[in-house]
Structure 1
Amino acid sequence: MNDDIRDLLTAVLDALDIPHPATAGGDEVYARIRNDRATHVTVALRSVLDDKPLMDIEWTTGYLREQLAKHPAVGYVTVNQARAAQAAGKSWSEAVALPTGEEQ
């Protein structure tokens, strides 16, 4: 497989394979972030698959990664974060609570 295509596919996977929220309370933020990222993936793929693309795959991949950096998967507690907090001795309620401004 071409290295540029592999890099683009890796960026697409990075965009869409974000951690699931630990609780239903995180679903809204998760869905918004994933939707934003899916929109950027769609734009990148359309750009690459266009009959006469304006930019090459390498540039498009870089641009996609820049957009993903602007929409990080934050603002909710992930399953792994909750499990780590419980392993550190926190209760489930404490483990899934969003950090306050001082703790962030």
Structure 2
Amino acid sequence: MSALEELRTLLEAVVEAIDVPFPDTGADVETYRALLDRRAGLAVIVARAALAEEPDAYGWNAAYLRRKVEEHPVAYRAYEKPEAGQ
């Protein structure tokens, strides 16, 4: 995999980490905020580490971030936009 492809993989992992769905109810807002905060922190740590390393390590950093995100899943019902006419 080229350095550019590995960078793209890392960027995709960062977006996946911080693209946390909004909760369906107000009762889950604090859970959402805590999850987003945790995942954003992980993304920053991994991005900083990637910037300090050689580009050939971007793939490893992406895989590491994805593993860490799996440890912090969405544990609430996500908001779904109603379809037109509902």
State the TM bucket, normalised to the shorter chain.
Answer: 0.7 to 0.9
Structure 2: 5+ residue runs without aligned partners? none
Match for residue 71 of structure 1?
72
Q: TM-score if structure 2 supplies the norm length?
A: 0.82
Match for residue 26 of structure 1?
28
**Paired residue secondary structure (1:79):** coil
Structure 1 position 7, deviation (Å): 0.7
Q: TM-score if structure 1 supplies the norm length?
A: 0.68
Q: Deviations over 1:12-58 (max 9, x none)?
A: 110111110112111011011111101110110000112xx288111
Mapped to 1, the partners of 2:58 and 2:79 lie a distance apart of 34
How many residue pairs match? The answer is: 80
Mapped to 2, the partners of 1:73 and 1:22 lie a distance apart of 12
Mapped to 1, the partners of 2:20 and 2:74 lie a distance apart of 7
What percentage of aligned pairs have identical amino acids?
29
Q: Which amino acid aligns with 1:11?
A: A
Match for residue 2 of structure 1?
4
**Paired residue secondary structure (2:22):** coil
Mapped to 1, the partners of 2:4 and 2:58 lie a distance apart of 11
Mapped to 2, the partners of 1:16 and 1:30 lie a distance apart of 11
Match for residue 12 of structure 1?
14
Q: Which amino acid aligns with 2:78?
A: T
Structure 1: 5+ residue runs without aligned partners? 88-104
1:1-104 to structure 2, matched below 5 A, reads 2-50=4-52, 53=53, 56-74=57-75, 76-80=76-80
